[in-house]
Amino acid sequence: MSAEAGKFDPMHQFTVEPIAKLFAIDGREVWLTTSAVWMAAAAIILWLFMLGGMKRQLVPGRWQMAVEGFTGFISSMMSTNIGSEGRKYTPYVFSLFMFILFCNILGMVPFALGGLHPLTVTSHFTITGVLAVLSFAIVLVVGFWRHGLHFFSLFVPHGTPWPMIPFIAPIEFVSFMVRPFSLGLRLFVAMTAGHVLLEVFANFIVQSSGAGAAIGLPVGLASMALMIGISALELLVAGIQAYVFALLTSLYINDAVNLH
C-alpha cells in the first residue's frame, strides 16, 4: 500500500487496475487490465521456458533437464493416478500445473515497476474458478463420452449395501458437485491469505520505523526476519498449491475414465 493513503489496507494489492480500453461489445467495454497483463506475462515466460528446453538433445543440458523434470513429474503423476489412459490428459494437466505455478511465482516477485506492482492472478476467484470449471467440464465430457448414462454409477460406490443407496447417493452427488468450488476456492484463498500475511508484516516494518529506536528496531528487525521466512514459505505454498490443483484434477479425471 502507498504511504500517502494513510490507512493500512491489506486488500488493496488485489485490485485489478484497468490499463487501456480495447473495444466495446453492445455498450459493454472490454479493458486490458493488470490481471490480463500478468497472465500474458506468465504465459510468455512459460513459453520461453518450454522453448529453451524442448531441443530434444540426446545429452540434455541444464535447461532441458529442468523442463524434463517438470514433464516427467506430471506424466508420472498421471500414469500412477489414471494408468495408461492418463497419457491423453497429460498435456492439459501439465499446462494447468505450469500456468498456475508461473502465475503464483510471478505474484511473489518483490518489486514494483512504475506503479505496476505484481498482481497474483491466482488470488482472484474469477481466474481460479474458470480453471476449476474447465477441469470439471473435462471430467463431465469424458465421463459421459466413455460411459454414457452409466457414469451415474459414480454416485454409488462398489459394494454399497442396497438399503444404504438412498443415503450414500445424495452425499456422493453433493461431494461431486462441490468439486469445482473447492478446487477453485483452495487455490484462491491460499494465495490471498499468503499475500495478506506478507502485507501485514511489511506494514509492521514500515510502522515500526516511526516508533523510535528502542521499540522500532527490535520490532522491525523481527518482522523483517519473519517476512523473509514467510516469503520462503509462500514460494513453497505456490508450488504445493499448483501441485494440489493438478493432482486433484488428475484424480477427478481418473473418476471419469475408470469410474470407481
Partner 1 sequence: MDAQAATLIGAGLAAIGAGMAAIGVGNVFGSFLESALRNPAAADGQQGRLFIGFAAAELLGLLSFLIAILLYLKAA
Would you tell me which residues interact with partner 1 (CB under 8 A)? 11, 77, 80-81, 182, 185-186, 189-190, 192-193, 196, 240, 243-244, 247-248, 251
The residue among 183 and 220 lying less far from partner 1, judged by its C-beta, is 183
The residue among 220 and 250 lying less far from partner 1, judged by its C-beta, is 250
Q: Are 102 and 241 in contact (CB under 8 A)?
A: no
* Residue 110 C-beta: closest distance to partner 1, Å: 23
The residue among 72 and 110 lying less far from partner 1, judged by its C-beta, is 72
* Residue 56 C-beta: closest distance to partner 1, Å: 28
Q: Are 186 and 122 in contact (CB under 8 A)?
A: no
Q: How many CA atoms lie within 13 A of 198 on its CB side?
A: 23
* Residue 240 C-beta: closest distance to partner 1, Å: 7
Q: Are 136 and 179 in contact (CB under 8 A)?
A: yes
The residue among 124 and 147 lying less far from partner 1, judged by its C-beta, is 124
The residue among 117 and 186 lying less far from partner 1, judged by its C-beta, is 186
Residue 43, burial from CB neighbour count under 10 angstroms (0-12, 13-18, 19+): middle
The residue among 150 and 260 lying less far from partner 1, judged by its C-beta, is 260
Q: Are 105 and 237 in contact (CB under 8 A)?
A: no
* Residue 59 C-beta: closest distance to partner 1, Å: 27
| Those residues with Cβ within 8 angstroms of residue 198's Cβ, 6 or more apart along the chain or in another chain | 227, 230, 231, 234
Q: Strand (E) positions, 119-177? A: none
Q: How far is CA 149 from the centre of its chain?
A: 32
* Residue 46 C-beta: closest distance to partner 1, Å: 23
Spatial separation of the C-alpha atoms in residues 223 and 208, rounded to whole Å = 9
* Residue 189 C-beta: closest distance to partner 1, Å: 4
* Residue 239 C-beta: closest distance to partner 1, Å: 11
| Those residues with Cβ within 8 angstroms of residue 118's Cβ, 6 or more apart along the chain or in another chain | 38, 106, 107, 108, 109, 110, 111, 112
The residue among 46 and 244 lying less far from partner 1, judged by its C-beta, is 244
